Structure 1
Amino acid sequence: MEGDDPRLALLFLAMPRLPLARQTGQQWFDYLPSSMLVSGLRLVLYQFCSSFYPRLASARYVGQWQSNGTLIGTISIPKVAHKIHTSTSFNRDNQLVRVSVGDLSLVRQQ
């Protein structure tokens, strides 16, 4: 992802990769750059430490189809116990209706 549009970043965090098959219970894994989730001094520390421990350079994403129209996910940042929960909802026409990452949400206006 390039640029600094907060809405695009929210979409990217909630759905970094979306499988073409949609089966309830299907899980997949992906990785996000740590720079999408941390900033400031913490980011500098992550970048420096990732030279010695490469796993710090990315956060792990686990996605799952909860139902035909609901995608849920969890983002785990290395060495941080707190996980970020995501959810994405689609309507019957497969149009994006709502995206949530932690306490932030995007809702489509009807």
Structure 2
Amino acid sequence: MIKKANQILHRPFSSTITSRLVRAIAVGLITGLIVSIFRWIIDHTMQILYFIYPQMRANPVWIIPYIILMIVITIILGKIIVPYLDQLVGSGVPQIEAIFLNENKMPWWSVL
């Protein structure tokens, strides 16, 4: 049953609303932490690349190990995502909506 606004506002601090609020805050904090770590990794990767690319331009021999490293990283990532290829389509919004509607069950780790 969908509740109306006056039913929810009648008891604004019931245990159900409070527990949902606490869970929502916890999810927000954890999500913010994960996104912050992701952004930190991207920023530091860019700093490393700003150092590496001029080195490769000065010494073209370093391009070969760089290409080999990129191939190895691509193979590793390919092995990681192979089990989820049928679920990796588009922006991800339809998959999340399907999870909310209990039409799709996905492990939280792969969604993350």
- Global fold match (TM > 0.5): no
Q: Higher relative CO (CA 8 A, sep ≥ 6), structure 1 or 2?
A: 1
Q: Which is greater in Rg?
A: 2
**Bigger strand fraction:** 1
Superposition TM-score, scaled by structure 1 size: 0.26
